[in-house]
Amino acid sequence: MQPEFESLVTLKKAIAEKKVSAVDAVTAYLERIGQHDESIHAFNELYGDYAMQRAAQVDAGQITGKLAGVPIAIKDNLCTPYGHTTCSSKMLANFKAPYMATAVGKLEAEGAIIIGKTNLDEFAMGSSTENSAFGMTKNPWDTTRVPGGSSGGSAAAMAADFAAATLGSDTGGSIRQPAALCGVCGLKPTYGKVSRFGLVAFASSLDQIGPFTRSVEDAALLMDVICGHDPKDSTSANLPASDHTLELHKPIENLRIGIAKQYMAEGNDPAVTKAVEDAIEVYKSLGATIVEVDLPHTEYGIPVYYIVATAEASSNLARYDGVHYGHRTEKPEDLYDLYAASRAEGFGDEVKRRIMLGTYALCSGYYDAYYNRALKVRRLIKQDFDKAYEQCDAILCPTTTGVAFKAGDKTDDPLAMYLNDVYTVNANLAGIPGITIPAGLSDDGLPVSIQLYGNAYEDAKLLRIAQMFQTATSHHTLRPKLG
Amino acid sequence: MANPITDADVRHVAQLSRLKLSDEQIAEYTQQLGRVLGYIDKLSELDVDGVEPMAHALDMSNVLREDVPVEGMPVDKALATAPASDPPFFKVPKVLGEGSGA
């Protein structure tokens, strides 16, 4: 692609300076998608006509804003009043949302052009995008491998340069893990920074919308646009919209980077370990102090997460009843059958598995042993972070234990798939922000990453710390060669 | 280790979840959920006496707003998402068939 397309910030500038027209920008991405998405399958749906129409309006000066003319793709669990919102589920295959997700509305209000919706694990449940009812997405670096999940389509679209930026959602790592496996930046903001209104609910106390971008600078710009209080989401934080770009390039003085031994397990792929060790050296060279922090409850994150997330999911997904929206079975025998057959036909295996696990954890008799105990351990995990942030500004750790795995490798073993999230779920349980940034390639030419955790509501500071790394390195400019 | 969950448990949970499953699926889910619950049992290693459960990520309390009427979603828009409707109603198939006990 032309140099103007290097990042969202460069493209936005080129469009503003009329070096590239918005119509040309949209055309360039649509052509690239047309050429390559058959082998990647990042998209569920494209909005070519709508995007071209909006681009023409940008070029005519009728649409303006911080993101005027910039093509962006969004995960197909974000509602828009145009097109379908399917969650990659047979249940919602024909669903047309009657309203706009707040985060997407904010993008459009600043002139962004939504070019399409990206594939995901059904209802955002999965770590490989293999659970999509419409076929898996492939990793642009190696199409025999998974892009990660659940926002695999958004990560792959970003890696393949199918849009200037994409949005995803992160409940247990669904932005950061695919960002790591696809070699792009992915940010899960602090819980409550971005309104969840119009994000199809999976686990309401964990879900958070965030950006996939080429650079940290791009992520900061998108955060400025999508964050802020929303009366339509009572869990959105009632704080003034913070500025993530203002001081982005100002390094943090006396920076303290925390390292937790619990994240540096021997089972990590050597390429992952090396990426973190190299990053430690980068931060040292920038004057940071490395501090050892203790997060003793880390290993309990997965069991807590798979109770809390599934319990909330079992409740959230009760709304799919075959009556109000979604799939309905053909000839129900009775009322029970209307529900049970519609749901059995509409939901895929993993969604069913999680609904049942969550229902089980909430059953009387098991509630105390599972759900209530999980909530108590969740607090212990949060307290670990509270203590750690007394000693450091950010925690540096891997996002994943390894690089992108082969398609089909873990589909028969739900537990193995769940363990993918071992380094990401705790941020969701504690509500803190986490960012994944590219950190080079493995010997096999696959992306490796590092992850930085920040303290709650310190997203702007976290981005500044991540920017320090990107100013000193060039890993984020690496791109896959598409076949 | 004995499977912490039985076929009968899974059948019961599937019923509560309103999911119609075949015997084959019940058997498969019993095995898979058993493995997951076995792993989750790790939580019993910890002493959590006196720990306050944390249901939400960050400290939040009930959010109230002024009691001012606002426009709701128009009926036709809400009905447009339904599998079948007969405005202003959702339309459902006849569900009180013979032998209906649910």
CATH of the domain at A112: 3.90.1300.10
Is A132 inside a domain boundary?
yes
Active site residues of A: 75, 150, 174
Check CB contact of A197 with chain B, cutoff 8 Å: no
pLDDT category of residue B97 using cuts at 50, 70 and 90: low
Query: Residue A304 has what pLDDT?
Result: 97
Q: Which residue in the set B33, B57, B90 is minimally distant from A191, CB to CB?
A: B57
Strand extents, DSSP E, A281-433: 289-293, 394-397
Cβ contact B19–A307 (<8 Å)? no
Residue type, A286: L
Cβ contact B52–A99 (<8 Å)? no
Is A112 inside a domain boundary?
yes
Q: Which residue in the set B52, B58, B102 is minimally distant from A191, CB to CB?
A: B58
Is A404 inside a domain boundary?
yes
Query: Residue B2 has what pLDDT?
Result: 67
CA of B2 vs chain A CAs: smallest distance (Å): 17
Please write the tens of the pLDDT for every residue from A290-329.
999 999 999 999 999 999 999 999 999 999 999 998 999 9
Query: Residue A206 has what pLDDT?
Result: 97
Q: Tell me which residue range forms the domain holding A78.
A: 3-257+390-477
Is B30 inside a domain boundary?
yes
Which residues make Cβ contacts (< 8 Å) with residue A338, sequence separation at least 6? A321, A322, A323, A328, A329, A332, B92, B93, B95
Cβ contact B13–A299 (<8 Å)? no
Q: Which residue has the tokens 């047979």?
A: A90
Q: How far apart are CA A79 and CA A99, in angstroms?
A: 7
pLDDT average, residue stretch A193-212: 97
Q: How far apart are CA A360 and CA A374, in angstroms?
A: 13
Least Cα distance to A128 among A423, A411, A447, A441 occurs for A411
Is A189 inside a domain boundary?
yes
Please write the tens of the pLDDT for every residue from B29-65.
999 999 999 999 999 999 999 999 998 887 777 888 8
Say if residues A252 and A393 touch (Cβ distance below 8 Å): yes
pLDDT average, residue stretch A155-172: 98
Is A343 inside a domain boundary?
no
CATH number of domain containing B36: 1.10.20
- Answer with the residue of higher pLDDT: A65 or A1: A65
Count of domains observed in chain A: 1
Q: How many CA atoms lie within 13 A of A236 on its CB side?
A: 20
Q: Which residues pair with B89 in a beta bridge?
A: B86
> Kind and range of the H or E element at A168?
strand A165-170
Is B102 inside a domain boundary?
no
Kindly report the length of chain A.
483
* Mean pLDDT taken over chain A: 96
Is B10 inside a domain boundary?
yes
Residue A199 per-residue DSSP state: B
Check CB contact of A344 with chain B, cutoff 8 Å: yes
Say if residues B60 and B40 touch (Cβ distance below 8 Å): no
- A258: pLDDT strictly greater than 50: yes
Is A80 inside a domain boundary?
yes
Best A171, A376, A380, A383 residue to mutate vs chain B (most B CBs within 10 Å): A376
Which residue is closest to B53 within chain A, CA to CA? A376
Q: Tell me which residue range forms the domain holding B31.
A: 1-44
Is B19 inside a domain boundary?
yes
Count of domains observed in chain B: 1
pLDDT category of residue B102 using cuts at 50, 70 and 90: very low
Cβ contact A96–B95 (<8 Å)? no
Is B39 inside a domain boundary?
yes
Is B67 inside a domain boundary?
no
Tokens of A230: 């929303």
